[in-house]
C-alpha cells in the first residue's frame, strides 16, 4: 500500500550503491518483526554475498551491516518515515504512524467492498471444480473440493482476473447405469419427498446394488448365476443408453434431474454460482472425433487392428528418455471413450469456445497422473494454453475408519454435517445471543455453521489429507471460522452503538497503542495477500490472513476503549478504525466463501 515511499527509498539506495560501486542485489521488502512498531524492512546480505563472490575479502554479515548503515546515511530524511535504523544487516524503516494510519483507514473505507481489489489483469482464468457423479449425494469430500474451488475463483476474480466458474458433473458411466438398473428392477415408481431425501435414497440404492453385484466369499453357484445375470442386465442397459434407447434415456434423464436438483440446492446453500455446466455425457461424442484427429496427426497409435486400443505413447512423442507421463489409452478397443478422452474434448472447448488463457483444475490429488497426461497430450496436439493448465490437487477427505466410498454407502454427507452444525450453533446461540430475533436466528446459525465447516477445509494446505472429525470441523473456538466472524460481529456491535455519531474522516494524531498499530498493519496487508493468494492459487493464504486480522482486532477490542475513549478525536479515529476493520474482515471472509454476520 506504500509503494510510493518504498520506490523512492529503493531508488535512493540504488543511487548510493552506484556511487560507491556496490553491486546491488534485488531488494526484498517485508514487515519488521518483533518491533511492535510499524514499517518495512529489507536486508543487504545478498548484496554483501555478491561482493564476496566477486573476490572481495569480507565477512558477509558485518559487511551487510556496514552497507545498511551507509544506506541509512544516504537516504536521509523521507516524508512519511519517522525513523530509519540499521541493525544486523537489515534496514528498518518506521512509518510516521498518524499519517499512515489515516491513509490505511481512509483507503479501506473509501473503497469499501472493493478494498483490496487488484487492477484488471486482462487474462481469463477458468476454474473447474465441483465434479460429483450424478446421481450421488454430495459428501464432505465434494464439499472440500467445492469450497476450495469457489474460494480460489473468488480470489483470482478479486485479484483482477476475468474468471469463469465451471462445474463438470459425471452424469453418465457404469455407476449411473447401476442406479438406473436397480431403480428399474426393485424400486420402480417410488420417489421420496424432498430433494435431499430423494438424492440420499438414490445413494442407498446404489450401495445396495453394488453389494448385489460384487462377488462374495463362499458364494453358491445359484448366487453366482444370479449375480452374473444382474450384471448382464446392467451392461445391457448401458448398451441401450449408448444406442439412444428412448426408454432408458428417459429413465436416465429423470434420475439425472433428481441428482441435479440436489446439487443445485447444495450450491445455493454454498452460495456458488456456476457460469458454465459441462456434462460428461455431452463430451462423449466429440471426444471420439478427437481420437480420429490424434491418430491422423500421428500423436495416437491405433492398435485396434491387432485387438488393442488406441493409445498415446506420451513420453516417446515428447522425446523424453526417462519415463514420466508413460503411455495411456484414449479409446477402448470396443470404441468407447474414457475419462482422459473426455478431458481432452473438454479442454478444447475451454480453449476455443471460452478463450481461456489459464485453466485450473480443482481435482483430487490422486488424479494427478491423469491430468499431467492430459496436459502433455494437449501440448502434443498444439495448444499453447497447455502450459497454463494447472492441477490444483488436494488431499482427500477420509474418515477415522478409513476412506469414504459411495459404492459401499460409507460416506459422511455434507447435508447431514451441515444440519448438525446448525443444531449445534442454535444450542450455543440461545445462550450467547438471546436478543437475536427468531427470524434471523436460523439464518445466522447457518452462516456460522457453514463458516466453521468451510474454514476447517480452507485452513489446511491443499496438499494435505484431512481425516474428518465432526467435532473438530464444527469447533467454534480458537482458530476457526466463527472466531473470525465473531470479530466482525463485535466490530459491528461497536458501530451500532455509536450510530448517533456519524463516522467522519479523522486524523490519528495522538499516540497510537501497539494494538492499534498492529491492527492497522494487518489491514494494510490485505491487498498484498489477495495478490499472493491468487498468484500461488492458495486460498490458505487468505484463510491464515483472515485469522491474523481477526486476532489483531480481538486483542484491540479487549485492550483499547473506543466508545469510552478519553477524547472525542480519539473516539472518532478509533471508530473509523473499527469500521475499516469490519470492512476488511468482511472482504476477506467473502473471498473464503464465508458469510460475515452482523450478530451472533
Nearer to RNA, 163 or 487 (CB): 487
Tell the smallest beta-carbon distance from residue 477 to RNA (Å): 4
Q: Report the C-alpha gap between 210 and 507 in whole angstroms.
A: 69
Nearer to RNA, 91 or 163 (CB): 91
Among 7, 11, 190, 333, binds RNA (CB under 7 A): 333
Hey, which residues between 152 and 181 contact RNA (CB under 7 A)? 170, 173-174
Nearer to RNA, 163 or 573 (CB): 573
Tell the smallest beta-carbon distance from residue 369 to RNA (Å): 4
Nearer to RNA, 83 or 432 (CB): 432
Q: Report the C-alpha gap between 425 and 203 in whole angstroms.
A: 28
Nearer to RNA, 255 or 489 (CB): 489
Among 8, 49, 78, 299, binds RNA (CB under 7 A): 49
- Is residue 196 a contact partner of residue 203, using CB atoms and an 8 Å limit? no
Q: Report the C-alpha gap between 306 and 210 in whole angstroms.
A: 34
Tell the smallest beta-carbon distance from residue 93 to RNA (Å): 10
Q: Tell me which DSSP letter residue 399 carries.
A: B
Among 90, 94, 158, 468, binds RNA (CB under 7 A): 90
CB neighbourhood size of 129 (10 A): 26
Tell the smallest beta-carbon distance from residue 339 to RNA (Å): 4
- Is residue 169 a contact partner of residue 138, using CB atoms and an 8 Å limit? no
Is residue 531 a contact residue for RNA (CB under 7 A)?
A: no
Alpha helices in 459-567 (DSSP H): 470-473, 481-497, 514-535, 539-559
Q: Is 537 exposed, middle or buried (0-12, 13-18, 19+ CB in 10 A)?
A: buried
Question: Cα 393 from chain centroid?
Answer: 11
Tell the smallest beta-carbon distance from residue 316 to RNA (Å): 11
Is residue 98 a contact residue for RNA (CB under 7 A)?
A: no
Taking contact as CB under 7 A, which single stretch among the options 22-30, 111-119, 257-265, 506-514 is the one that binds RNA?
22-30
Q: Report the C-alpha gap between 404 and 150 in whole angstroms.
A: 23
Among 6, 82, 442, 544, binds RNA (CB under 7 A): 544
Among 273, 366, 423, 443, binds RNA (CB under 7 A): 366
Nearer to RNA, 182 or 541 (CB): 541
Question: Cα 3 from chain centroid?
Answer: 28
Tell the smallest beta-carbon distance from residue 298 to RNA (Å): 17
Taking contact as CB under 7 A, which single stretch among the options 71-79, 100-108, 109-117, 361-369 is the one that binds RNA?
361-369
Contacts with RNA: how many residues (CB under 7 A)? 95
CB neighbourhood size of 122 (10 A): 9
Tell the smallest beta-carbon distance from residue 366 to RNA (Å): 4
Hey, which residues between 426 and 445 contact RNA (CB under 7 A)? 428-429, 432-433
Q: Report the C-alpha gap between 471 and 82 in whole angstroms.
A: 49
Is residue 11 a contact residue for RNA (CB under 7 A)?
A: no
Tell the smallest beta-carbon distance from residue 47 to RNA (Å): 9
Hey, which residues between 123 and 152 contact RNA (CB under 7 A)? 133
Q: Report the C-alpha gap between 425 and 422 in whole angstroms.
A: 5
Is residue 600 a contact residue for RNA (CB under 7 A)?
A: yes
Nearer to RNA, 359 or 462 (CB): 462
Tell the smallest beta-carbon distance from residue 189 to RNA (Å): 29
Planar angle of CA 246, 170, 447, nearest 5 degrees: 125
Hey, which residues between 259 and 298 contact RNA (CB under 7 A)? 280
Tell the smallest beta-carbon distance from residue 122 to RNA (Å): 25
Evaluate the omega torsion of the peptide bond into residue 135 and state whether it is cis, within 30 degrees of 0.
yes
Is residue 423 a contact residue for RNA (CB under 7 A)?
A: no
Taking contact as CB under 7 A, which single stretch among the options 87-95, 195-203, 223-231, 519-527 is the one that binds RNA?
87-95
Q: Report the C-alpha gap between 473 and 454 in whole angstroms.
A: 9
DSSP helix/strand/coil, 168: coil
Hey, which residues between 206 and 265 contact RNA (CB under 7 A)? none
Among 3, 19, 21, 33, binds RNA (CB under 7 A): 33
Nearer to RNA, 163 or 581 (CB): 581
Among 117, 227, 264, 554, binds RNA (CB under 7 A): 554
Residue 128: which of 107, 149, 99 has the closest Cα?
149
Nearer to RNA, 326 or 388 (CB): 326
Which residues lie below 8 Å from residue 318, measured CB to CB, with a gap of 6+?
Answer: 325, 376, 379, 380
Q: Report the C-alpha gap between 150 and 60 in whole angstroms.
A: 46
CB neighbourhood size of 232 (10 A): 10
Among 182, 274, 356, 448, binds RNA (CB under 7 A): 448
Which residues lie below 8 Å from residue 215, measured CB to CB, with a gap of 6+?
Answer: 224, 227
According to DSSP, the β-strands at 310-313 and 301-302 are antiparallel
CB neighbourhood size of 368 (10 A): 13
Nearer to RNA, 111 or 329 (CB): 329
Strand order in the sheet with 327-331: 301-302, 310-313, 327-331
Is residue 17 a contact residue for RNA (CB under 7 A)?
A: no
Nearer to RNA, 128 or 163 (CB): 128
Which residues lie below 8 Å from residue 528, measured CB to CB, with a gap of 6+?
Answer: 1
Hey, which residues between 457 and 486 contact RNA (CB under 7 A)? 459-461, 463-467, 472, 475-480, 482-483, 486
Angle between helices 539-559 and 438-458 (to 10 degrees): 120
Tell the smallest beta-carbon distance from residue 545 to RNA (Å): 10
Amino acid at each position: 500500500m506504500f509503494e510510493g515511499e518504498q520506490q523512492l527509498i529503493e531508488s535512493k539506495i540504488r543511487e548510493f550503491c552506484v556511487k560507491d560501486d556496490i553491486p546491488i542485489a534485488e531488494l526484498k521488502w517485508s514487515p519488521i518483526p518483533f518491533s511492535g512498531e510499524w514499517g518495512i524492512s529489507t536486508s543487504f546480505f545478498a548484496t554483501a554475498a555478491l561482493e564476496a563472490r566477486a573476490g572481495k575479502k569480507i565477512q558477509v554479515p558485518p559487511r551487510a551491516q556496514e552497507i545498511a548503515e551507509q544506506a541509512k546515511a544516504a537516504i536521509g530524511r523521507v516524508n512519511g518515515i519517522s525513523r530509519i535504523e540499521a541493525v544486523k544487516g537489515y534496514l528498518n524503516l518506521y512509518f510516521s504512524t498518524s499519517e499512515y494510519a489515516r491513509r490505511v483507514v481512509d483507503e479501506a473505507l473509501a473503497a469499501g467492498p472493493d478494498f483490496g481489489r487488484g487492477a484488471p489483469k486482462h487474462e481469463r482464468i477458468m476454474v473447474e471444480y465441483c465434479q460429483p457423479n450424478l446421481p450421488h449425494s454430495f459428501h464432505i469430500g465434494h464439499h472440500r473440493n467445492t469450497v476450495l474451488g469457489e474460494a480460489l475463483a473468488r480470489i483470482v476474480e478479486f485479484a483482477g482476473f476475468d474468471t469463469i466458474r465451471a462445474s463438470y458433473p459425471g452424469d453418465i458411466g457404469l455407476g449411473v447405469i447401476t442406479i438406473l438398473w436397480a431403480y428399474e428392477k426393485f424400486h420402480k415408481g417410488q420417489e421420496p419427498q424432498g430433494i435431499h431425501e430423494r438424492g440420499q435414497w438414490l445413494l442407498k440404492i446404489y450401495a445396495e446394488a453394488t453389494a448385489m453385484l460384487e462377488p462374495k466369499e463362499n458364494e453358491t453357484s445359484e448366487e453366482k448365476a444370479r449375480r452374473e445375470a444382474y450384471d448382464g442386465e446392467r451392461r445391457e442397459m448401458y448398451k441401450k443408453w449408448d444406442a439412444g434407447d428412448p426408454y432408458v434415456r428417459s429413465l436416465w434423464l429423470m434420475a439425472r434431474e433428481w441428482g441435479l436438483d440436489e446439487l443445485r440446492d447444495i450450491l445455493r446453500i454454498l452460495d456458488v454460482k456456476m457460469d458454465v455446466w459441462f456434462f460428461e455425457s455431452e463430451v462423449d461424442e466429440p471426444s471420439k472425433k478427437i481420437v480420429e484427429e490424434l491418430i491422423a496427426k500421428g500423436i495416437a497409435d491405433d492398435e485396434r487392428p491387432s485387438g488393442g486400443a488406441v493409445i498415446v505413447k506420451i513420453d516417446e512423442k515428447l522425446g523424453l528418455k526417462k519415463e514420466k507421463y508413460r503411455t495411456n489409452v484414449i479409446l477402448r478397443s470396443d470404441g468407447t471413450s474414457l475419462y482422459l478422452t473426455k478431458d481432452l474434448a473438454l479442454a478444447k472447448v475451454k480453449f476455443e469456445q471460452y478463450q481461456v488463457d489459464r485453466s485450473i483444475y480443482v481435482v483430487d490429488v490422486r488424479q494427478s497422473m491423469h491430468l499431467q497426461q492430459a496436459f502433455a497430450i494437449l501440448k502434443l496436439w498444439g495448444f499453447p494454453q497447455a502450459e497454463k493448465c494447472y492441477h490444483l490437487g488436494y488431499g482427500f477427505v477420509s474418515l477415522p475408519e478409513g476412506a469414504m466410498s459411495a459404492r459401499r454407502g460409507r460416506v459422511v454427507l455434507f447435508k447431514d454435517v451441515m444440519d448438525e452444525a446448525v443444531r449445534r450453533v442454535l444450542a450455543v446461540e440461545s445462550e450467547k445471543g438471546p436478543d437475536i430475533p427468531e427470524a434471523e436466528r436460523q439464518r445466522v446459525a447457518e452462516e456460522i455453521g457453514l463458516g466453521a465447516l468451510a474454514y476447517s477445509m480452507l485452513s489446511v494446505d491443499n496438499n494435505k489429507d484431512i481425516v474428518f472429525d465432526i467435532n473438530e470441523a464444527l469447533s467454534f473456538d480458537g482458530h476457526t471460522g466463527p472466531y473470525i466472524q465473531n470479530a466482525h460481529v463485535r466490530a459491528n456491535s461497536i458501530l451500532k452503538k455509536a450510530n448517533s455519531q456519524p463516522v467522519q474522516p479523522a486524523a490519528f494524531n495522538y499516540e497510537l497503542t501497539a494494538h492499534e498499530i498492529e491492527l492497522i498493519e494487518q489491514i494494510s496487508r490485505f491487498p498484498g495477500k489477495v495478490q499472493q493468494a491468487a498468484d500461488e492459487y492458495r486460498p490458505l493464504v487468505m484463510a491464515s490472513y483472515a485469522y491474523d486480522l481477526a486476532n489483531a482486532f480481538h486483542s484491540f477490542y479487549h485492550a483499547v476503549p473506543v466508545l469510552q475513549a478519553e477524547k472525542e478525536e480519539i473516539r472518532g479515529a478509533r471508530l473509523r478504525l473499527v469500521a475499516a476493520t469490519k470492512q476488511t474482515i468482511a472482504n476477506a471472509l467473502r473471498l473464503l466463501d464465508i458469510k460475515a454476520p452482523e450478530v451472533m
